[in-house]
A and B are shown apart, each in its own frame.
Chain A
């Protein structure tokens, strides 16, 4: 019994160690799928609710949800890259990777999805890409500092 507990604890610790690179890889995968989707979609003048460029740290998850649901609403998941991207944006690793919010700070100040002004599809994808790149650059870096101190 003690041995089983010890093994399970070891596996749990290893999963923590691997979590950070897994999140990084998942975000990288999101960017790759986003790039493929941008390339495959025709030059559309479609207007979509787009979260703002300046997103507060605690509103990143809300913005991610808005991006995901807007994608589903306008493009569905019938296409190959649409489906992949939707699944990646819904993945636990992606959500954890974009969760850079102190529990003390309230998320009530974040705007709802339909309150965001509509932008062109190209601007929509650019902002989603910037969100993931920004998090990839800073969140993982600063998360390590946060854990350290």
Chain B
């Protein structure tokens, strides 16, 4: 019984000690392929690494990466469009794996990031690539922030190595970083490069500092508070202004009341709205012009067709300044002769 237990423990330990290593490969800057097998920790044994590219033969690793004197990776040349197989061997154990490297590319970050204040008063940023890929195969992404606020991101098309910030503020501080990857038309890489070293631009006349609050801020707060209090006092004491700014919503009730009672006006204000003068309505009369020939040729009776010569309902006031009433209506023919 005890021997069986011991045997079982030995086999279990053996299995756990020889768990399958997981190889991860990455194409670095389109220059070489870097494979590592220390994702779950430093391996306990020294594996021998072989790789096979396309239809070539298996090749042993010439350049191992080590950690604590144990082999953890290998760099070798390669082509990401070809099939790539790896093999880790230790004793009789052989772990083989196939890799799809076309999209497993990570470029080096852009270098020589510089900033220039252009003659067009815009801010121009320029950078360089270090990968052997043609320019039309590399797309970029920039991120910039103003005065240490949140980052803004922007994509830059393949082949372009500059970025412009329009009309920068002379009192602001601009910080920009760039990263790149292989373009879609050349086999898009799923990894972006690391961000480049940042470049900062601030105008010489800028008094901006990294302090979060300027000395004028508390002054502005105090002035704003005082203004608010004064405004409240003015509103309380000037009823007319208050009613204009904050009109009272009338409360209709089922009982018929005087409409003026709906509004909570003071007596003085109510009296101000009562009229203290009388205005007389001006009489309006309509006249039709009658020609002289018609009047003469008639049988003497006046064929006046005026609608109303007198207005008996309203007394004529000599001081009335209403529209004058013509005493002799003139015919249209006589008017035409006079104008000629």
Contact = CB atoms under 8 A, between A and B. Distances in A.
Interface of A: 24, 27-28, 31, 53-54, 130, 133-134, 136-137, 140-141
Interface string B7-36: 000000000000000000000000000000
A54 B78 CA distance: 12
Q: Name which of B82, B182, B184, B186 has the most chain A CB atoms within 10 A of its CB.
A: B186
Nearest to A141: B134
A31 B55 contact: no
Contacts of B134: 137, 140-141
Contacts of A31: 184-185
Contacts of A141: 132-134
B224 interface: no
Contacts of A54: 54-55, 82-83
Given A53-B54, A54-B82, A140-B134, 20 more contacts: A24-B136, A27-B185, A28-B185, A53-B82, A54-B54, A54-B55, A130-B102, A130-B187, A133-B102, A133-B185, A133-B186, A134-B187, A136-B137, A136-B186, A137-B133, A137-B134, A137-B186, A137-B187, A141-B132, A141-B133
A136 B135 CA distance: 12
A146 to B, nearest CB: 14
Interface in B175-226: 182, 184-187
Contacts of B137: 136-137
Interface string B127-143: 00000111011000000
Q: Is the interface of A mostly helix, strand, loop or mixed?
A: helix
Contact of A130 (B55, B81, B136, B182): B81
B187 A133 contact: yes
Interface of B: 54-55, 81-83, 102, 132-134, 136-137, 182, 184-187
Instruction: Tell me the dominant secondary structure on chain B's binding face.
Output: loop
A133 B81 contact: yes
What are the nearest 7 A-B pairs in CB distance? Answer: A54-B54, A133-B187, A134-B81, A137-B186, A141-B134, A54-B82, A28-B185
A53 B185 contact: no
A54 B55 CA distance: 7
A98 B176 CA distance: 39
Contacts of B83: 53-54
13 contacts: A24-B136, A28-B185, A53-B54, A54-B54, A130-B102, A130-B187, A133-B186, A133-B187, A136-B185, A136-B186, A137-B137, A137-B187, A140-B134
A140 B187 CA distance: 15
A24 B136 CA distance: 9
A122 to B, nearest CB: 14
Contacts of B133: 137, 141
A137 B185 CA distance: 8
A19 B336 CA distance: 87
Q: Which of A28, A31, A137, A141 has the most CB of B within 10 A?
A: A137
A29 B189 CA distance: 20
Contacts of B102: 130, 133
Nearest to B79: A134
Contacts of A130: 81, 102, 187
